[in-house]
Chains A and B, each alone.
Chain A
Amino acid sequence: MFGLPDPSIWLAYLLCIGSTILCVVYGVLNWNKDGEDKEEGKQ
């Protein structure tokens, strides 16, 4: 894949891209969640 013959290397690249997508999707889905800080609100 992409000129890389060894699966143990392109799997690492796939995991990099997959993890970045995970970060982006998580950030977008939770963009407005948990805005209020309950513990600090009590103080």
Chain B
Amino acid sequence: MTYIFISLAVYVIALALLGYLGYKKTRNLNDYLLAGKEMHPVVMALSYGATFISTSAIVGFGGAAGQYGLGLIWLTALNILVGVFVAFVVFGKRTRRLGHSLGTSTMPELFARRFDCPFMQGYSGLLIFVFMPIYASAVLKGIVDYVSNYLGLDFGLILIIVSVLTAVFVVTGGLKGIMYSDAFQGSLMFAGMAFLIIYTYSMLGGVARANEALAALPSMPGVAEQTAGLVKGGFAGWTSMPETGSPVWWNIVTTLVAGVGIGALAQPQLSVKFLTVKSDRDLNRAVLSGGIFILFMTGVAFTVGALSNVAFYNATGKIAINAAGSNDGIIPVYIKEFLPEWFGGIFLIILIAAAVSTLNALVHTMGTALGRDFLKQSLKLKTDTMTLTRLSMLAGLLLSVLLAWLSSKLDVSMAIIAIGTSMFFGLCAATFLPTYFAALYVKRFPKKAALTSMITGSVSSLFWLMFVQEKTASSLQICKLLFNTTSIVKGTALNTLSMVDAIAVALPLSIIAALIGHKAFARSEADTVDTVPAASAD
């Protein structure tokens, strides 16, 4: 306990100081929304990384790796290759140049000005505000689950404390304060995860021995009985990919890997970070630290999640999910049972840091999406932008807290955190990715084509999530109410589709809509704004 209180006190004081520094240096709206466009590349990279990686990645997806195995490492590979390299080099540089030349401060505003279509700003803003709370609530649930489990305190109480901390910090500090604190929190996360992987491997006798023990685990006495249900779904051990085409395979490949791996490219809270640096050089430099950072975050969380099965089995004879009681409980219980007590305290801070650094950005983005993009620019409200944004932030946070509380009542065997995260990432990819790419790379791309793609992506994605994909449709309950089933294709010849994630259907549809729209509307729009940023030597 002493370790926890000392670490908590140091952490809160450091955050308060950084928040104050951000507050002091915030003089105008530009500072509040874009951190004055003068962030240091390392601060930017750490802030991007700390926003990208939340408790959802560490606890939620780490727990998913504990259940499904090391197949999740493909997600780490995509996180680095797509989430950092492609995001910074292919999207980041042009986003920064286009954003600065159009004078935009949010992703919806970038679309609206690039395509000269104010409707896009309101539509994207509203969509972000309505659905981002699902992701924010998954992040909240991740941290609150851990803290309440570790300290033996009530879920509701911890939920209120974390939300108040986030609210005070984000609403006052603006993006500058957020980015300073992100960099501090990112450094903490890096050191903690490095210790976690070294300790886990040395506890289990080294890299090769630990991996061999994990590979041999399915044939150990008593394990087959515990994995019977999973094996029926296609699970083939923690060091193998599941059987191709099986429910577990579809879940890992389309929801967890493709959804989050590709979805990261079109995340409004991440793309806004590109607007906070001064030059392309800063983004070049940020790629270096960003790549290493992500490897140590998700790479370590997924590896340790899977290896925890060996530790749990050796100590209790149970596999991780049975020993921990739930998918989302695997990482918290593993840390509590197998790591030194002092690390438990530090890890608690690391997770709070991971949660707060992502929540900060999400609340900031929900606030700008509703306040600036929808209420101010679309509905033309007279109240000033800063006040509207602050009030919207509070509304977004409240909505997320409510959802987190409701999700704590759902079935614990579901990977709720991981599902909530990939739902939002998938929705963003299907809605924004083709339009975002066209905005940056296609000259004279018609606004009607962009709108068609955006609407096709969002509508098909939501339809799939609510009526076809069984995991999400059954949690959202709308399909059950209307058709009295958990998926409209269940029990029909198209049953396999109920296992396919929305992104696998909605993103291709959205791309096709963009291509058809480009052909159909190309000639009819002579007035299309042509502001694709000039390619540089990159």
Q: Which A residues form the contact surface with B (CB < 8 A)?
A: 2-6, 8-9, 12-13, 15-17, 19-20, 22-24, 26-28, 30-40
Subset of 11 A-B contacts with CB under 8 Å: A3-B214, A5-B240, A6-B241, A8-B240, A8-B241, A9-B241, A13-B73, A16-B299, A20-B291, A30-B287, A31-B285
CB-based closest 4 A-B pairs: A23-B291, A27-B288, A3-B211, A34-B280
How many angstroms between the C-alpha atoms of A43 and B281 in the bound complex?
19
Cross-chain contact B291 with A34 (CB below 8 angstroms): no
Say yes or no: is B341 at the interface (Cβ < 8 Å to chain A).
Answer: no
Instruction: Spot the interface stretch: B80-88, B123-131, B370-378.
Output: B80-88
- For B215, the closest partner residue in chain A by CB is A5
Q: How far is the CB of A39 from chain B (nearest CB, A)?
A: 5
Cross-chain contact B288 with A28 (CB below 8 angstroms): yes
Q: Which residues of A contact B287 (CB under 8 A)?
A: 23, 26-27, 30
Known: A6-B239, A19-B81, A27-B284. A35 touches B279 (CB 8 A): yes
Cross-chain contact A12 with B215 (CB below 8 angstroms): no
How many angstroms between the C-alpha atoms of A28 and B289 in the bound complex?
10
Cross-chain contact A37 with B279 (CB below 8 angstroms): yes
Q: Which of B85, B209, B284 contacts A33 (CB 8 A)?
A: B284
Say yes or no: is B343 at the interface (Cβ < 8 Å to chain A).
Answer: no
Q: Which of B77, B536, B537 contacts A12 (CB 8 A)?
A: B77
Known: A9-B71, A9-B239, A31-B284. A40 touches B211 (CB 8 A): no
Q: Which B residues form the contact surface with A (CB < 8 A)?
A: 70-71, 73-74, 76-77, 80-81, 84-85, 89, 93, 97, 100-101, 207-212, 214-215, 239-241, 278-281, 284-292, 294-295, 299, 533-534, 536-538
How many angstroms between the C-alpha atoms of A38 and B62 in the bound complex?
43
Cross-chain contact A2 with B207 (CB below 8 angstroms): yes
Q: How far is the CB of B323 from chain A (nearest CB, A)?
A: 22
Q: Which residues of B contact A16 (CB under 8 A)?
A: 73, 76-77, 80, 295, 299
Known: A9-B70, A16-B76, A23-B290. A37 touches B215 (CB 8 A): no
Please name 13 further chain A to chain B contacts, defined as beta carbons within 8 Å, in addition to the given A34-B281, A34-B536, sorted by A numbering: A2-B207, A2-B211, A4-B211, A4-B215, A9-B70, A20-B291, A23-B80, A26-B284, A30-B281, A33-B281, A34-B284, A36-B279, A37-B279
Q: Which residues of A contact B73 (CB under 8 A)?
A: 9, 12-13, 16
Q: Which of A4, A9, A33, A40 contacts B537 (CB 8 A)?
A: A33
Cross-chain contact A39 with B97 (CB below 8 angstroms): yes
Q: Which residues of B contact A35 (CB under 8 A)?
A: 279-281
Q: How far is the CB of B68 from chain A (nearest CB, A)?
A: 12
- For A26, the closest partner residue in chain B by CB is B287
Q: Which residues of A contact B89 (CB under 8 A)?
A: 26
Q: Which residues of A contact B292 (CB under 8 A)?
A: 20, 23-24
Q: How far is the CB of B233 from chain A (nearest CB, A)?
A: 18
Cross-chain contact A24 with B240 (CB below 8 angstroms): no
Known: A26-B284, A31-B285. A12 touches B279 (CB 8 A): no
Cross-chain contact B85 with A22 (CB below 8 angstroms): yes
Cross-chain contact A39 with B533 (CB below 8 angstroms): yes
Cross-chain contact A2 with B299 (CB below 8 angstroms): no
Q: Which of A6, A23, A34 contacts B85 (CB 8 A)?
A: A23
How many angstroms between the C-alpha atoms of A24 and B289 in the bound complex?
7
How many angstroms between the C-alpha atoms of A31 and B289 in the bound complex?
12
Q: Which residues of A contact B212 (CB under 8 A)?
A: 3
Known: A9-B239, A20-B291, A27-B287. A37 touches B278 (CB 8 A): yes
Q: Which residues of A contact B215 (CB under 8 A)?
A: 3-5
Q: Which residues of B contact A20 (CB under 8 A)?
A: 80, 291-292, 294-295
Q: How far is the CB of B28 from chain A (nearest CB, A)?
A: 17
Q: How far is the CB of A10 from chain B (nearest CB, A)?
A: 9
Cross-chain contact A12 with B288 (CB below 8 angstroms): no
Cross-chain contact B101 with A22 (CB below 8 angstroms): no
Cross-chain contact A2 with B291 (CB below 8 angstroms): no
Identify which of B210, B280, B537 gathers the most chain A CB atoms within 10 Å of its CB.
B280
How many angstroms between the C-alpha atoms of A19 and B534 in the bound complex?
27
Q: Which residues of A contact B71 (CB under 8 A)?
A: 8-9, 12
Q: How far is the CB of B177 from chain A (nearest CB, A)?
A: 25
How many angstroms between the C-alpha atoms of A9 and B427 in the bound complex?
28
How many angstroms between the C-alpha atoms of A3 and B206 in the bound complex?
10
How many angstroms between the C-alpha atoms of A15 and B82 in the bound complex?
12
Cross-chain contact A4 with B281 (CB below 8 angstroms): no
Q: How far is the CB of A30 from chain B (nearest CB, A)?
A: 4
Q: How far is the CB of A1 from chain B (nearest CB, A)?
A: 9
How many angstroms between the C-alpha atoms of A17 and B77 in the bound complex?
8
Q: Which residues of B contact A36 (CB under 8 A)?
A: 279
How many angstroms between the C-alpha atoms of A8 and B257 in the bound complex?
14
Identify which of A4, A23, A28, A30 gathers the most chain B CB atoms within 10 Å of its CB.
A23
Known: A16-B76, A39-B101. A34 touches B241 (CB 8 A): no
How many angstroms between the C-alpha atoms of A6 and B74 in the bound complex?
13
Q: How far is the CB of A13 from chain B (nearest CB, A)?
A: 6
Known: A19-B291, A22-B291. A34 touches B285 (CB 8 A): no
Identify which of B93, B240, B279, B288 gathers the most chain A CB atoms within 10 Å of its CB.
B288
Q: Which residues of A contact B85 (CB under 8 A)?
A: 19, 22-23, 26
Q: Which residues of A contact B286 (CB under 8 A)?
A: 27
Known: A27-B288, A33-B284. A38 touches B299 (CB 8 A): no
